[in-house]
Structure 1
Amino acid sequence: MSDWTNVIQAATIHDPLSGAVNTPIQLSSTFNQTDFDHFGHFDYARSGNPTRESGEKAVAALEHGKYGYLFSTGMAAISSVLFTLSAGDDIVVSKHVYGGTFRILSDILPRWGITHTLVDFGDLDAVKAAIKPETKALYIETPSNPVLKITDIRAIVAIAKDNDLITIADNTFLSPFLQNPLDLGVDIVVHSATKFLAGHSDILAGAVVTNNSDLADKIYFIQNAVGATLGVLDTWLLLRGIKTLGVRMTQSSQSAQKIAQYLEGHDKVARVLYPGLATHEGYTIHQSQSKSGGAVLSFDVGSADNAKVVVEALTIPIFSVSLGAVETIISYPPKMSHAELNVEELKDTGITPGLLRFSVGLEDVNDLIADLEQALALI
């Protein structure tokens, strides 16, 4: 079946009792047990709920995985995967990761004796050199937030296998409709399902998917023990959002391609970062592992002052944190997604003072370009 059909099939889980085409919302924290000695599949909702289980099966199917887990936020999902590490373990991470991931790595895991090394994953020799005897995993984010850095997933997986390491990939920016890291050998995929999977700026959610039963057991143990699970109402909204994932990603990606090409030719724009452009570093690799450039791009207008002028002049995009919604969202990474980083860390990861991140929604692309044109004319 096509990807379009698979999306609908995964998110439309019929109720076996009534035949309802939408997954029922099971608002129950506990479940009656009819046998004193043998308990049923569900007992307490933190450990499992029928609605959440339907959502978990859906995200697993979308990522071509066997085991899926839903969490209360994207950071709860990422943190829960990292919490499977133990004191004395090390993890090698792309230095271009999301600011929230950086915060967990830098400010929380070290308290528990878990160390990390940040490396440019575009430099495979540097990745190999960073691996220590205590290293347990390699952490990928591709395309990265917000500079759209591309990592060669197959090459990193090969390095991991040569060193008996697991690989973790953040697939938030493309969604499983455009990229499937498990198919390329990755062990664990994480998502901020708040973004493209849900797609409507109405819930917070996180997802983890794997094909490895041992890793699945560890992730489920953390999910159940820590308890940062996704509520049933939010799971239902996530499933509803997923149903339009294919059409949303296709339309938004097509618009993002046109906007990136427009910005690349604009004399007020210093650089455009978008993996759908042939000029983008890693373009060929990205083409080999993804279906399109995606719906997010970043562009540099030269200075923080210019960025402020552009943001305040735009009339269509929302100026806010987050991405992946039906509405276009423009963000200023130095003060938003990557506010955790200091000046040197921002510079080292390519986040310049004039950089703006642009998550393209479902508005008419010509209206968005016209809005950008009038805003850029003011700098």
Structure 2
Amino acid sequence: MPRSSNSPARPTEKRKSVRLVDIARKAGVSVSVVGNVINGGRGNSRVAQVTADRILELAKQLNYRPSPTAQQLRGKRSNVFGLLVASAGDPLTSYLVEHLDEEVVKHGCQTLIGNTAVAPGRFEACVDEMTARGVDGIFCIVHSIFPGDRAQLLARCPNTVFYCDPGLADATFVEVDQIAAGRAAAEHLFASGRHRLGFAVLDPASAAGKKRVEGIKAALAGQGRNPEDLAVCKGAPGASEPARPDERSMDWHTPEEVLDRIIDELVIGHRADAIIAHNDFIASALLKQLRKRGVQVPSEVAVVGYLNHYLCEYVDPPLTSIDLRHHQTAKAMVQAVQAMIDEGSIDSPRERRALSIEPRVISRASA
């Protein structure tokens, strides 16, 4: 005996996907009419508006979802973008995730987020899933310290835009101007009466850190100051980044010995009256350690961070920081991938394209 429509579904029963033929039967029309209406109504201009409205309402009631594969075969867009992140909760990119999603929605599309740092091989698995779903493009904002085959990603989805340089000859990427970031921080400190600067980069191999040092030196030269007014604490192997004992929890913690080393080298040794930190998390940890060691901020030493994370407002004193203008980055990334889509399929790799975002200083009590 057939089960009534009001009976609950059996636990082992697999829900079938709704097809065009199912909607056609409900609407009492042919499959071709349903297809033409759902796919834009271009194929049959004789469909009455009342019939088209009924078909669309039935599709909504039945929770119809078009097949990405079928859409690709018809040359139609999925209106979905992949968004690869190390973790959606990563404090270094959480703002950018938010702004990218908002910017995509403004274009009438959606994002499919893939967390890549939770398990080995997850980056490639996320790429597999996104390409199988027929995404229109992919935004990759996974930091370079995390694994993932970026070259294979670009080969499988040419409409990919990276956040920061992935080191690929044919990549399109958006990045913050690191030289401008260093220069802006130094000029702000000079304008507030500081003279001797320290830069806590921690990672000796950090390309971004080297560029920020270049920017600080440019600010020194621009004001005719002595290059020796800058000292750089380059950290040591094993202490180049905040420790993450658990990738899933993303527990960011800077060891106290690292903080003491920064203070010993820059404040005690160099007699710096201002420290520019590699990011807001190191800067906020420095604020606590400086207070613990009896150094007053900002009366004795000013501190500037990098990122303008919301924690800047909750530390004491509130942290001056370099704002990365993630809303501008999101706009640039979406515009770049839209331009790729408009360009259509290509037979040869695209030329390398770098888009630069000018950062700005957000002044607070720490500097």
With normalisation by structure 2, the TM-score equals: 0.32
Name which one, 1 or 2, has greater alpha-carbon Rg.
2
Which protein has greater RCO, CA pairs closer than 8 Å, 6+ apart?
Answer: 1
